[in-house]
């Protein structure tokens, strides 16, 4: 079971090279992956701020 951090989730989804190959492999192959509701809240806030500026 893995709880994925907000940045790691976004970097994985964006195929960002800042995410290590090991982390990318673990996230990509995991059947037991969790994302906190706080991460979804954080993404929504950051997106709203980016649209506001």
The pair of structure tokens assigned to 40 is 């979804």
Model confidence pTM above 0.85:
no
β-sheet bridge partners, residue 4: 35
**Domain extent for 18:** 2-52
Distance CA 47, CA 4 (A): 19
Contact (Cβ atoms closer than 8 angstroms) between residue 4 and residue 38:
no
Residue keyed to tokens 């940045």: 7
- Nearest CA to 39 among 18, 10, 1? 10
User: What's the pLDDT score for residue 5?
Assistant: 94
Query: Once rounded to an integer, what is the mean pLDDT over residues 15-44?
Result: 96
β-sheet bridge partners, residue 33: 2
pLDDT of residue 29 exceeding 70: yes
Number of domains comprising the chain = 1
């Amino acid at each position: 079971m893995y709880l994925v951090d907000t940045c790691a989730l976004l970097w994985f989804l964006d195929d960002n090279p800042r995410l290590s190959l090991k982390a990318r492999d673990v996230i990509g192959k995991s059947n037991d992956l969790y994302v906190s509701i706080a991460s979804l809240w954080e993404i929504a806030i950051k997106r709203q701020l980016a649209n506001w500026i």
